[in-house]
């Protein structure tokens, strides 16, 4: 079976979903695309893909439906709403959910889809918009290992690091762990840069020095420049990351684990969102320590 033989529906063309769709289109998969705003469907890089006016239309007669939506509510609406994909998915097809949702939400979706003969993988991704554009995302998969192996050629276009974590829901639990790490690293980089700026150190030189030492991290490599400039171009919305931290904190509560650092970052993000920064990149955590925010 060649890529041109696969019919793939994609719902959700946001900061991650659009470049993922573009890469699948370039790779030769036949695409049917839908996004809530409809604007991204007209992206020139998707020329030739079939634009669809609903999730059901995007799912009509496809082999695989890929989702990349914002939260549990959006996932449920896309799959099971009045114009939801479940109304059109054929038995034997597969839903690959690249959204970051709750483990329980993933399990419920899998159970409902199983009733109509549709298989489900929860496959949240990490690696930012840079990874989505380059096709180098890390994919954390929960679900049947045999289904994953069949889907691997498609997932290999989206990411270059694909990991089977366990049954449905485990992918989302792994993503929660990832987001805890992201929270701590972004907050630490933000504070460290603020300290260096207040000390009037040569920050570009210092960051270059720190990249290769014990303090090196993805956040330092990819987001320190934005923090230095006080400009936060979108990589991953703070509002979405805060949603992910709530999922992680709920998971921790379920196993009687206290995570004070994650809880603090969630509070900081909540307050920044209230100030109107919810659509900024997570690196806008630097606003808390920057001189402009303190004056």
Question: Alpha carbon of 187 to those of 46, 106, 221, 223, 250: distances in Å?
Answer: 36, 29, 14, 11, 20
Cα separation, 74 vs 62, in Å, equals 20
- From the candidates 76, 119, 175, 243, give the one annotated as an active-site residue: 175
pTM of the full structure = 0.92
Using the Cα atoms of residue 135, residue 284, residue 214 and residue 176 in order, give the sign of their dihedral: negative
Strands (E), 113-221: 119-122, 125-126, 137-142, 159-166
Residue 145's pLDDT is 98
pLDDT at 294: 45
Q: Which residues does 294 contact at the CB level (< 8 Å), separation at least 6?
A: none
Question: What pLDDT was estimated at residue 1?
Answer: 57
- Cβ distance 100 to 247 under 8 Å? yes
Q: Which domains does the chain have, with CATH numbers?
A: 3-166 (3.40.50.720), 173-294 (1.10.1040.10)
Beta-carbon count within 10 A of 211 CB: 13
Check residue 220 and give its pLDDT. Answer: 95
Distance of CA 77 to the CA centre of its chain: 18
Q: Report d(CA 187, CA 260) in Å as an integer.
A: 13
C-alpha to C-alpha distance for 147 and 102, rounded to whole angstroms? 21
Contact at 8 Å (CB) between 285 and 275? no
CB contact at 8 A, 61 and 37: no
Residues in contact with 55: Cβ distance below 8 Å, sequence separation at least 6, in sequence order: 11, 34, 78, 79, 81, 83, 84, 85
Length of the chain: 295
Pairing mode, if any, of strands 30-34 and 7-11? Answer: parallel
Per-residue confidence (pLDDT) for residue 290, from 0 to 100: 64
Give the chain's radius of gyration (CA, Å). Answer: 20
Distances (CA, A) of 120 to 111, 123, 141: 9, 9, 10
Return the ∠ at Cα 132 (arms to 42 and 225), rounded to 5°. 110
pLDDT of 291: 44
For 279, the token pair is: 């659509």
DSSP 229-273: HT----SSBHHHHHHHHHHHHHHHHHTT---HHHHHHHHHHHHHI
pLDDT of the chain, 295 residues: tens digit per residue: 577 789 999 999 999 999 999 999 999 999 999 999 999 999 999 999 999 999 999 999 999 999 999 999 999 999 999 999 999 999 999 999 999 999 999 999 999 999 999 999 999 999 989 999 999 999 999 999 999 999 999 999 999 999 999 999 999 999 999 999 999 999 999 999 999 999 999 999 999 999 999 999 999 999 999 999 888 887 889 999 999 999 999 999 999 999 999 999 999 999 999 999 999 999 999 998 664 444 3
How is residue 99 written in tokens? Answer: 């959204």
Question: Pseudo-torsion of CA 39, 74, 226, 181, nearest 10°?
Answer: -150
Mark whether 175 is an active-site residue: yes
């Amino acid at each position: 079976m060649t890529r041109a033989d696969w019919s793939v529906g994609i719902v959700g063309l946001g900061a991650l979903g659009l470049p993922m769709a573009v890469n699948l289109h370039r790779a030769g998969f036949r695409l049917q695309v839908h996004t809530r705003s409809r604007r991204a469907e007209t992206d020139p890089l998707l020329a030739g893909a079939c634009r669809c006016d609903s999730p059901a239309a995007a799912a009509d007669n496809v082999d695989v439906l890929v989702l990349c939506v914002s939260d549990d509510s959006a996932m449920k609406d896309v799959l099971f709403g009045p114009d939801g994909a479940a109304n059109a998915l054929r038995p034997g097809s597969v839903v690959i959910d690249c959204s970051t949702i709750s483990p329980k939400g993933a399990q419920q979706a899998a159970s409902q889809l199983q009733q109509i003969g549709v298989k489900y993988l929860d496959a949240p991704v990490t690696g930012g918009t840079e990874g989505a554009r380059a096709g180098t995302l890390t994919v954390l998969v929960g679900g049947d290992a045999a289904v994953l192996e069949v889907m691997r050629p498609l997932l290999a276009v989206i990411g270059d690091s694909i990991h089977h974590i366990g049954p449905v829901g485990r992918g989302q639990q792994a993503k929660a762990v990832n987001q805890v790490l992201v929270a701590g690293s972004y907050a630490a980089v933000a504070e460290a840069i603020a300290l260096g700026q207040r000390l009037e150190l040569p920050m570009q030189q210092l960051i270059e020095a720190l990249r290769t030492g014990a303090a090196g991290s993805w956040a330092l490599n990819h987001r320190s420049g934005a923090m230095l400039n006080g400009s936060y171009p979108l990589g991953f919305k703070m509002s979405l990351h805060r949603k992910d931290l709530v999922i992680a904190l709920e998971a921790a509560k379920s196993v009687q684990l206290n995570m004070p650092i994650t809880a603090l970052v969630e509070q900081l993000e909540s307050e920044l969102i209230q100030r109107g920064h919810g659509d900024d990149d997570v690196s806008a955590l630097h606003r808390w320590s920057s001189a402009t925010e303190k004056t």
